[in-house]
Amino acid sequence: MNWQFWKKSTKEKKDEPKSKAREWWDAILFAVVAATLIRWLIMEAYTIPTPSMENSLLVGDFLFVSKFHYGTRTTTTPLQIPLTHQKIWFTNIPSYLEWIKLPQYRLPGISEVKREDVVVFNVPPTGLNDGKEYPVDLKTNYIKRCVGIPGDTLSIRDKQVYINGAPENNPPEMQYSYLVTSDGPINQRNLEKLELGPEDYQVYGRQADGKFVYMMWLTQKKADEIKELTYIKSIEVEKRVDEDGTIPYSTYYDWSGGTESKKYYRWSTDNFGPLWIPKEGATLAINDSTLALYGTTIKLYDHNKDVKIENGKLIIDGQEVKEYTFKQNYYFMMGDNRHNSLDSRFWGFVPEDHIVGKAFFIWLSIDKNSSFVNKIRWSRFFKLIK
């Protein structure tokens, strides 16, 4: 005799249908877990908010960034709301807690960062992260082109990048700023014909002779096209030279401790270096000159706990260091819009542990300045990023 007749059979329990609420919850949970794993391990979606990479990448481009090319990083802050970065959506509330902090590792990738790669990375300086010391993997994301890899010696002479003494390949859509003088104001219709949006020019105003002056960020091809227009009187590339010898990146990245940089290095954005890029395992002699360039990197980014720079001396764990061996690789990044990019010339090297992934392809592009009909840039759909 069945003495447990009042209990439902296992089969009956299995056949019991799920409620609609339970089905929705299961579907949402599965989607969040799957999206989180894909975002962490394989690819993540980004959008281009600034013109620093024009005309290679345009404001309004939506792209996928490959994590598996250089290897996925493990997170240092596991207590984080999925699918967020620094803050909870539409708020200023942090999306993570630092109650648990883990060491960071990188899983094996299929390639290393190479020169000419377009790379997404966490920008190092605190000044570019809202003045806050975020965990490395939660720092603000930047996208630039790698122009120098570990062990390279980089120079810029009259705007041309040289690596180890040889000229580096220039991106085909590279831009510089040009001073453009016209008969009068250029009307909106002509600017649209030239495919120039608000981010591509600034109006300097009318001169005493009645002519108008513009600052425009242009490719060489576009500059040659504009030069042929009847209402254009002159066009010339702007030369960026700091006459007082001020290092152009000192605003955000204290390479030197202030005046020491000027003592040794009188560089500008168009004439820069030579600068050696640190490589893991390479040893550097420490003196006033080298501390002016590498002191902050050693202190903030090379995983040292107690570092002081005093009177031209490097002191680690209370001991003066005469030679220093780097613990990780570093990279030099620049925007293709060379005169409108806040990059390594201004704030320094990108540490290897700040590398996020390789920009892979554009899946959508929206021109916010165009009419509704022309809002979508159809020609950029699924364009590989080179």
List residues with catalytic annotation. 52, 144
- Phi first, then psi, for residue 299 (nearest 5°) are -75, -40
Closest among 385, 351, 359, 348 to 154, alpha carbons compared: 348
State how far the Cα of 178 lies from the Cα of 223, in Å rounded to an integer. 8
State how far the Cα of 215 lies from the Cα of 201, in Å rounded to an integer. 5
Q: Are 308 and 315 in contact (CB under 8 A)?
A: yes
Q: Are 61 and 362 in contact (CB under 8 A)?
A: yes
